[in-house]
Structure 1
């Protein structure tokens, strides 16, 4: 788990540090790490019949691969706690209202909504966009770099515990 989480962390770092804006195209549910990856992007468009959810507390894993660091920044502390502690589904329209995604659109409009952002971003000055992105990432990077090392260690250890083993067993056996 420790090794896998290192690769997950590296993927997050690349998305944030690429120097160009990234647009998440969410064409289905975004659960756990899937939502953490879309949060690592600069903009996000989601189909309106999908949802976002975190299930770590139900399945033995702390959502520390972006969710505990960035949800309070995106939606505020109380909503972040609601999302992460209660593990409820957040429908796409609610995710849009809360600021988890920029837009929730019908599936038939997903590509055109993504293209809208891409075309507008492509028309901007690249160096200015790069520096703006770097500045916007400051708060996210601060919380990320201060927590990700111990989160990785803790997750690796916790996944060896009885609680996590039972949660995985229950999931595999559909209990």
Structure 2
């Protein structure tokens, strides 16, 4: 009996000390950055939910394939523009005036609010919002993912510009 117990302890010790087989997919959150990895395909995606839930880096086999002219996320937060893969909404593309039409009704923007810019508004006003809530950061044997939620209806200034209550969830 003592021999069996000793053997079991040795087996458990060896199993516990040996490295686990490498997972193909991993996910982690480091401060305000979420990193998703596929080790087999040597692909890493980095997302910063606090700046529009933007994908700001994607490397494939060590090469970054996205434009990122900033030295840090802090530098990007100070002046976010023209890089990464942003979420655009609540509309995409350009309008031909400072208003939009839905269900036969014209909805004019309140340009004094400052969240819609330009004579011809483009891509909405959510691309740099800090209101995204990370709900889940996970990986399993099939993929790695982050799920974030934006509760549009809770923001009066947004509802004034786009009066359709909704919640956006991105995975």
Q: TM-score, normalised by structure 1?
A: 0.24
| Greater Rg by CA | 2
Q: Return the structure number with greater strand share.
A: 2
Q: Return the structure number with greater helix share.
A: 1
Q: TM-score, normalised by structure 2?
A: 0.24
Larger RCO of the pair (alpha carbons < 8 Å, separation 6+): 1
